[in-house]
């Protein structure tokens, strides 16, 4: 599960006490479940280009707005149009 460490930035932002309690018996959400959910969401965000949009905003130092998303879509068109879809 070493790959999961790469998804840790979000969780590391939480206070240590909260992190500890998540893994303890009786905690509302078990740590493994939270990790798997986060992983699944990260995967879906990558597949559905939400992560690409976040990177685009960071790269261009923009905040999310209709014009920023339109610019992102224009950039994506150039990239995705050359990407084959498998049979």
Q: Taking Cα atoms as reference points, which of 27, 32, 28, 26 lies closest to residue 11?
A: 32
Q: Is 34 in the site for other proteins (CB under 8 A)?
A: no
Torsion of CA 62, 64, 65, 69, to 10 degrees: 90
- Which residue among 12, 22, 59, 61 contacts other proteins (CB under 8 A)? 59
- Scanning 10-18, 19-27, 51-59 for contacts with other proteins by CB under 8 A, the matching segment is 51-59
Distance of CA 13 to the CA centre of its chain: 15
Where on the chain is the footprint of other proteins (CB under 8 A)? 2-7, 39, 42-50, 52-56, 58-59, 64-66, 68-70, 72-73, 75-77, 79-87
């Amino acid at each position: 599960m070493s790959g999961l460490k790469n998804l840790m930035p979000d969780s590391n932002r939480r206070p240590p006490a909260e992190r500890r309690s998540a893994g303890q018996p009786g905690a509302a959400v078990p740590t493994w479940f939270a990790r798997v959910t986060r992983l699944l969401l990260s995967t879906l965000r990558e597949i559905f280009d939400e992560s690409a949009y976040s990177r685009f905003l960071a790269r261009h130092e923009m905040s999310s707005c209709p014009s920023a998303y339109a610019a992102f879509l224009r950039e994506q068109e150039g990239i995705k149009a050359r990407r084959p879809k498998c049979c």
